[in-house]
Amino acid sequence: MEAALRRLEERGLRILARSRFWLTEPVPVSDQPWFVNGVCAVETDLSPAALLALLHAVEEEFGRVRSVPNAPRVLDLDLLAHGRRIVPGEAGRGLCLPHPRLSERAFVLLPLRDVAPGWVHPLSGEGLSGMIERLPADQKAVPA
């Protein structure tokens, strides 16, 4: 994770803030090991599409191979939001902003609260505390 953050900076992103790392159970639950998750806020002049392409390129540099959904992976970099921009799209198919499942995932919301506790979902208008309160109790996440 640290190496990936350094690589993003080398590729021109300015990291403004970053969460602590979180250990999280896989969602959906599976026999995979727990993941390490985190969120960072960046400054960039890149468009959402160009930023997503950069994230995917860095994943590939670290050995990510895309096979089937939810397959084990060495690195998974997601674009959660790009300011307050809304980019409609199909979940799992290209660019969609804000990320379509971010409000349902402890592994996103808890680290996001570390970075931007006042963040409001641009579609629903809901704040992080409300989204976190609605998380299913079975999503396990602990600070690393």
Between helix 48-61 and helix 2-10 the angle, nearest 10°, is 130
Catalytic residue among 7, 11, 18, 73: 73
Beta pairing class for 22-24 and 40-43: unpaired
Active site residue 73: yes
Active site residue 138: no
User: What distance lies between CA 50 and its chain's CA centroid?
Assistant: 16
Active site residue 114: no
User: Scanning the structure block, which residue is given the tokens 């350094």?
Assistant: 6
Catalytic residue among 64, 84, 93, 105: 64
Active site residue 45: no
User: Scanning the structure block, which residue is given the tokens 């079975």?
Assistant: 138
Catalytic residue among 76, 85, 93, 105: 76
Catalytic residue among 7, 18, 78, 101: 78
**Helices and strands, counts by H and E, the chain:** 4, 5
The DSSP secondary-structure symbol of 20 reads P
Cβ within 8 Å of residue 57, ≥6 positions away: 11
**Residues annotated catalytic, as ranges:** 64, 73, 76, 78
